[in-house]
């Protein structure tokens, strides 16, 4: 993928602790009429990173922002009791997200890290990604 200027963090909006796979999310997105999973990567509860949509293909994860962005989602984002937005990231997911974001920032120095909520009236990813990852966005400034 060329000219990446944004890395956008998402959640799957699934209850805390519920195992969810790339295949699950792909099925949900295909059921909506999409051509494939919208995210480029999905971070499982154990922190393992799984490829969704190829980086050579434009994502379908954030309306109006897909052309020059990478979409990364973590599994979770919803409280398992009240089904309300909640930062449910495990420590392993937090570490994996930082590692990925640092990697993509090195590969695409001009990229800014955002949360989906910075572009839509949604809680996703259920925390302020732009604020939390500001130090990565500003690595060389």
At which residue do the structure tokens 């944004």 appear? 6
End-to-end CA distance of the chain: 23
Please name the residue that has the structure tokens 């980086």: 55
**Rounded Cα–Cα distance for residues 117 and 2 (Å):** 24
Active site annotation includes 116: yes
Catalytic residue among 61, 105, 124, 133: 124
8 Å CB contact between 93 and 74: yes
Across-strand partners of 90? none
Q: Mark whether 122 is an active-site residue.
A: yes
Whether 11 is catalytic is: no
CA 135/CA 128 separation, integer angstroms: 13
Of these residues, 29, 39, 86, 105, which one is catalytic? 39
Is position 130 annotated as part of the catalytic site?
Answer: no
Pick the catalytic residue from 29, 40, 61, 116.
Answer: 116
Q: Which of 50, 94, 122, 130 is catalytic?
A: 122
Q: Tell me which of 10, 29, 40, 108 is the catalytic residue.
A: 10
**Residue 102: helix, strand or coil by DSSP?**
helix
| Whether 61 is catalytic | no
Measured CA to CA, the distance from residue 112 to residue 59 in angstroms comes to 16
Q: Write out the catalytic residue numbers.
A: 10, 39, 116, 122, 124
């Amino acid at each position: 993928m060329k000219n990446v200027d944004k890395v956008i963090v998402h959640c799957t909006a699934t209850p805390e602790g519920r195992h969810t796979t790339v295949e699950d999310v792909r099925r949900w997105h295909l059921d909506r009429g999409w051509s494939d999973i919208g995210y480029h990567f999905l971070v499982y509860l154990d922190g393992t990173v799984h490829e969704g949509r190829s980086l050579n293909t434009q994502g379908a994860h954030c309306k109006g922002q897909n052309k020059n962005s990478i979409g990364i989602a973590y599994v979770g984002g919803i409280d398992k009791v009240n089904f309300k937005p909640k930062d449910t990231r495990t420590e392993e997911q937090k570490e994996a997200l930082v590692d990925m974001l640092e990697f993509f920032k090195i590969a695409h120095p001009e990229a800014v890290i955002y949360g989906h909520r910075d572009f839509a009236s949604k809680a996703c990813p259920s925390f302020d990604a732009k604020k939390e990852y500001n130090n990565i966005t500003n690595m060389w400034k």
